[in-house]
Amino acid sequence: MIITLFLTFAKIGLFTFGGGYAMISLIESICVEQKRWITHEQMMKITVVAESTPGPIAINCATYIGYKQKGIAGAVAATLGVVTPSFIIIYLISKFLENFLEIQGIVSGFKGIRIAVGILILDAAIGMIKKMKKKTIPCIILGCSFVIMLLNNIINLGISSILLLVIAAIAGMIISGVSEMSAVKGGADK
Amino acid sequence: MIYLDLLIGFLKVGMFSFGGAYGAIPLIRDVVLHYGWMDEDALVDMIAISESTPGPIMVNLATYVGCNKAGVLGGILATLAVVSPAFLFIILLVTLINGLAGKKRIKAAFNGIKPCIIGIILAMGVSMVGKNCISPIISEKDILPTMLTIVLAAVFFGYHALFKKKMSPIILIITAAIAGLIVYGI
């Protein structure tokens, strides 16, 4: 079973390009429909949980399904399975990339690709903004973090993204605390 | 020590990367530039490669940085470091999910984290596109990157508007590589 978990997730890791969400649909078709390791409802639940835990979504799913099948050992096998194929591929690339970059054609190609990467990142942000619930406080937090990071990228303020995320987490907790307190007060007044 | 730096650097990335691969990219950029492991151009090349090879993008990036800086062992350390927070969080959740007292607080923290990460990603996208688009014009050296940006953005967003479906990132990367070859020569 441990070996099956490893091999199944290695296959998933090998055949998904484009990261997280592409992987989820493959995990769904193999682990839910073919192998019946988990139910469709469990898969939905884990996808939601994965969105609010750090790290790659595919890893979250693999860990969960592996754990459900065979405990910690299963979780380790499934997780290592997902990362092994890309590890081997990237290792080979890291060996040869620098030699490749001495070829003029490859250099030209990468100059074009760098531009595409900027567009992809911008598009990812636009997609997330579209999906976000447009309420005042989240919009203010988004605006502040955007302005701070943009300035940081232009004139290098030395602020790390992690520091900003920690501040935002604390702000989120304070805001919910304040609104809870005012709700309690409002209730008492009535 | 490089091994310890890789371990700590990518543990941080794994722990704070909410919002998928694109949420992790700004964090990886911070770590990589902080330790001086790569310059900005090399990092962007690697983002494109990670996007076009199988597997989670942030795992691919961690593997590459680790292998590049400290061989296979470095690669293994960086890869394990970037996935272990995700692994541990899920194990913790399935074993103690019902006893998790601070659930409400965690949710509140998320309400702050989510918009913040979107702002960080947006800032990175805007500054990357801006750098390609505006700085060549100001320095009056070379308007090719500006034109390439406009053409590629038109193709990418035009495809979305026309076919009501997103163009796959890999197709955009291949198109961009061909455009680069045409513009800058083989």
**Contacts with B76 from chain A: Cβ below 8 Å:** 87
Residue in B closest to A81 by C-alpha: B55
Question: What is the pLDDT at residue A159?
Answer: 85
Q: Which residues, 6 or more positions from B18, have their beta carbon under 8 angstroms from its beta carbon?
A: A52, A53, A54, A165, B110, B113, B114, B117
The pLDDT of residue A19: 62
Task: Measure the CA–CA gap between B18 and A104, rounded to whole angstroms.
Answer: 38
Taking CA–CA distances from B117, the nearest residue in chain A reads A165
In chain B, where the domains are located: 2-131, 134-186
DSSP summary character for residue A158: -
Q: Which two tokens stand for residue B19?
A: 């919002």
Q: Indicate whether B85 pLDDT > 50.
A: yes
CB distance A31 to A38 below 8 Å: yes
Task: Note whether B173 contacts A138, CB cutoff 8 Å.
Answer: no
- Are A64 and A46 within 8 A, CB to CB? yes
Contact A168 B121 (CB under 8 A): no
Q: What distance in Å separates the CA atoms of residue B33 and residue A164, rounded to the nearest whole number?
A: 17
* pTM attached to this predicted model: 0.84
Q: What is the structure's pLDDT at A190?
A: 41
Are the CB atoms for B114 and A132 separated by under 8 Å? yes
**Taking a C-beta distance cutoff of 8 angstroms, is the pair B129, B146 a contact?**
no
> Using CB atoms within 10 A of its CB, is residue A96 exposed (0-12), middle (13-18) or buried (19+)?
exposed
Q: Where are the domains of chain A?
A: 2-100, 103-131, 133-190
**Which range is least confidently modeled, A89-93, A107-111, B8-12?**
A107-111
DSSP string computed for B70-109 = HHHHHHHHHHHHHHHHHHHHHHHHHHHGGG-TTHHHHHHH
Q: Which of A87, A126, A49, A62 is nearest to B22 (CA)?
A: A126
Q: What is the ipTM of this complex?
A: 0.84
Q: For the residues A183-189, what does the mean pLDDT come to?
A: 62
Q: Give the range among A7-11, A153-157, A165-169, B75-79 with minimum mean pLDDT.
A: A153-157
The pLDDT tens digits of the residues spanning A18-46 come to 666 667 878 888 998 899 999 988 888 88
